[in-house]
């Protein structure tokens, strides 16, 4: 039987897919946690296609710049800094040096908060996002709870460069300032306060992944010897902002699950303090309700 393509069998692998396989091995050897995914994402970025369309790139269109971005990722530069964007729930965010890159584990934190707000008997719930960074949390809440009034605060001017880009055209009210003193005009009126604050202990610096330690802003990562300094301060901020019966949601490290709920103690005006797991069943965030007098 005659073979197609001039008697030769077709090559089952394109040049690009072969290069992706080689890049995957290089990234794996460098300790990148998800080498295959990152190799494919970088290939899609360089060639201007979606990840699922890589097989459509012609051999003649292979772009040698692919190896430049692979080398950057091999050196543990964050994938999101190279491509310039990060995905979070239903959002595509612009990110880069100076702003904390949102992590997948925070999506479960926001999911819980969205369910909590939807369950409230409030026509236009008021939500405050403290330490908003890229704006991922505030924007997700605004998008998925359409009648909510969402406010966000960020201190870092470097981070705000990205926050403002992401929030352009949104209905989130963004302010620059200290999360501990933010929104005095909303005292006692907020239905839900949420935050993904810095929570890594200073003593853990050497164990932090290079992508975070060397590229995320230090002020977005570390918070005192036990990592809980800012969360202790945010407890008072949340209590000031919330109406009686309002809820606070705070992300923390999976090693802090036994500690954070105790910060929201009954003698400080809280009730129902509890911890919640992420999708990997690790303690990921604490919630509490402001006591009703």
User: Per-residue pLDDT averaged across 261-287, rounded?
Assistant: 93
1 has pLDDT over 50: no
59 has pLDDT over 50: yes
> What is the band of 107 on the pLDDT scale with cuts at 50, 70, 90?
very high
> What is the band of 254 on the pLDDT scale with cuts at 50, 70, 90?
confident
Buried b (16+ CB within 10 A) or exposed e, 249-280: bbbbbeebbebbbebbeeeebbeebebbebee
**Structure tokens given for 163:** 């926050």
Contact indicator for 99, 133 with CB cutoff of 8 Å = yes
pLDDT value at residue 257: 83
96 has pLDDT over 80: yes
Task: Write the pLDDT tens digit of every residue in 147-204.
Answer: 999 999 999 999 999 999 999 999 999 999 999 999 999 999 999 999 999 988 888 8
* Residues in a beta bridge with 289: 247, 271
Task: Provide CB contacts within 8 A for 157, sequence distance 6+.
Answer: 176
Task: Write the pLDDT tens digit of every residue in 115-135.
Answer: 999 999 899 999 999 999 999
**Average pLDDT of the chain to the nearest whole number:** 91
pLDDT value at residue 12: 47
pLDDT value at residue 279: 83
pLDDT value at residue 5: 34
Task: Provide CB contacts within 8 A for 81, sequence distance 6+.
Answer: 95, 96, 97, 101, 215
Residues noted as catalytic? 100, 196-197
> What is the band of 109 on the pLDDT scale with cuts at 50, 70, 90?
very high
Q: Which residue has the higher pLDDT, 104 or 5?
A: 104
> What is the band of 2 on the pLDDT scale with cuts at 50, 70, 90?
very low
Contacts 24+ apart (CB under 8 A), 164-171: 165/94, 166/93, 166/94, 166/134, 166/135, 166/136, 166/139, 167/135, 167/138, 167/139, 170/135, 170/139, 170/142, 171/142
């Amino acid at each position: 039987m005659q073979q197609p393509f001039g008697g030769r069998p077709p090559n089952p692998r394109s040049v690009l897919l072969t290069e992706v396989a080689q890049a995957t091995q290089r990234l794996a050897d460098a300790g990148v946690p998800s080498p295959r995914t990152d190799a494919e994402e970088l290939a899609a970025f360089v060639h201007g296609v979606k990840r699922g369309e890589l097989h459509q790139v012609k051999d003649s269109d292979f772009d040698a710049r692919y190896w430049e971005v692979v080398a950057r990722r091999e050196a543990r530069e964050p994938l999101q800094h190279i491509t310039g964007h990060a995905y979070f729930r239903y959002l595509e965010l612009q990110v880069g040096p100076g702003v904390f890159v949102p992590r997948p584990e925070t999506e479960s934190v926001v999911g819980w908060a969205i369910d909590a707000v939807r369950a409230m008997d409030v026509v236009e719930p008021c939500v405050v996002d403290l330490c908003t960074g890229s704006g991922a949390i505030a924007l997700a809440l605004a998008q998925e709870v359409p009648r909510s009034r969402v406010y966000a605060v960020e201190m870092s001017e470097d981070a705000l460069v990205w926050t403002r880009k992401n929030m352009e055209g949104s209905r989130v009210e963004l302010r620059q300032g200290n999360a501990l003193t933010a929104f005095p005009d909303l005292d006692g009126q907020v239905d839900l306060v949420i935050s993904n604050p810095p929570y890594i202990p200073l003593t853990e610096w050497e164990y932090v992944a290079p992508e975070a330690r060397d590229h995320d802003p230090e002020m977005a990562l570390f918070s005192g010897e036990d990592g809980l300094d800012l969360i202790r301060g945010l407890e008072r901020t949340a209590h000031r902002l919330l109406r009686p019966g309002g809820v606070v949601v705070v992300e923390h490290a999976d090693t802090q699950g036994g500690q954070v709920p105790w910060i929201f103690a009954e003698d400080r005006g809280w009730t129902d303090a509890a911890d919640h797991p992420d999708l990997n069943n690790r303690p990921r965030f604490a919630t509490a309700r402001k006591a009703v007098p």
